[in-house]
Amino acid sequence: MSADMKRKVCIVTGTSSGIGYATAIGLAKLNATVVAVMRDSPKSAAALNEIKSKSGMDDSIIWMKADLSSQESIRAFVNEYNQRFNRLDVLINNAGVNNFKKTVTPEGIETTFAVNVLAPFLLSNLLLDKLRSSSPSRIVNVSSEAANGVKIDFENLQGEKKYSMFGQYGQTKLALNLITVELSRRLSGTGVTANFLHPGVIRSNLARGMNPLANLLLSFVKLFFGSPEKGARTSIHLATSPDVEAVSGKYFSGQREARANPLSYDESLASRMWKICEDLTKEKLPPAVAAPTG
């Protein structure tokens, strides 16, 4: 069951296509104000127009520009958001990449790790004051079953020893699970929840840099994948349903609570991953955040 989101403000990253695009439409149809975070590109402009048209909510969809591989761009986005909005009810960290070849950001960080792990970490931390002052509020991180059956190799977090498309993607999604569970611990008692989810095996434009033959094969396989609309259902459920308002630190699949890779709940791994994210972003959240007073 979804609630009417009138007067609620939701940030959704990665809305130019796929699950993020469908999530933005779904939230807008529930009367939310949706801040669609996308790069500055013609594709993003076209997506914005389509989201407005398909939701029928022209005035409640706001495009704000950010490159989530860049910490500088993320910080600029947050500064602009804080100037324009006085509340934040839902942050959906949906954007993700799965690069065929290793690339690095201008800040020297491997791109898949930067977008899939550091961007959600940094956005959640930088927007936390806004989330707390708007509580009850929610952080929703889009993970993947690709995290199942993998381990964290702290000596190869950024492909320092070797890089593989699927290995790096799975490892970054497990890292996202770890920081989500750790974040939920640190937010206990604040009225801000943090959960993570598997959207299903969905048609998307996630893979980048594959050769033409591999792209052709993937295009054929995608015919059997679920629609982005189906993939958005669990994100929208966690963002809006009264049934999960007080639920935090949990993993969902098919709109139901599920069990993630057991390593996702390992406190020592989570603490270590959290510290790495702090060091790479130079952002620190206290071990336990006191509930707001007044």
Structural domain boundaries of the chain? 9-281
Contacts of 138 (CB under 8 A, 6+ apart): 89, 90, 91, 192, 193, 194, 195, 238, 239, 245
Q: Greater confidence, 207 or 268?
A: 268
Report the alpha-carbon distance of residue 253 to residue 274 in Å, rounded.
Answer: 24
Contacts of 191 (CB under 8 A, 6+ apart): 132, 135, 136, 137, 291, 292
Q: What percent of the chain has pLDDT over 90?
A: 83
Q: Does the domain formed by 9-281 have CATH 3.40.50.720?
A: yes
pLDDT band at 207 (very low <50, low <70, confident <90, very high): very low
Report the alpha-carbon distance of residue 234 to residue 42 in Å, rounded.
Answer: 29
Contact 12, 36 (CB under 8 A): yes
Contacts of 227 (CB under 8 A, 6+ apart): 22, 202, 203
Is this model's pTM higher than 0.85 or not? yes
- pLDDT tens-digit map of 18-68: 999 999 999 999 999 999 999 999 999 999 999 999 999 989 999 999 999
Which amino acids are annotated catalytic? 169
**Torsions phi, psi for 18 (to 5 deg):** 65, -140
Distance of CA 116 to the CA centre of its chain: 7
pLDDT of residue 228: 76
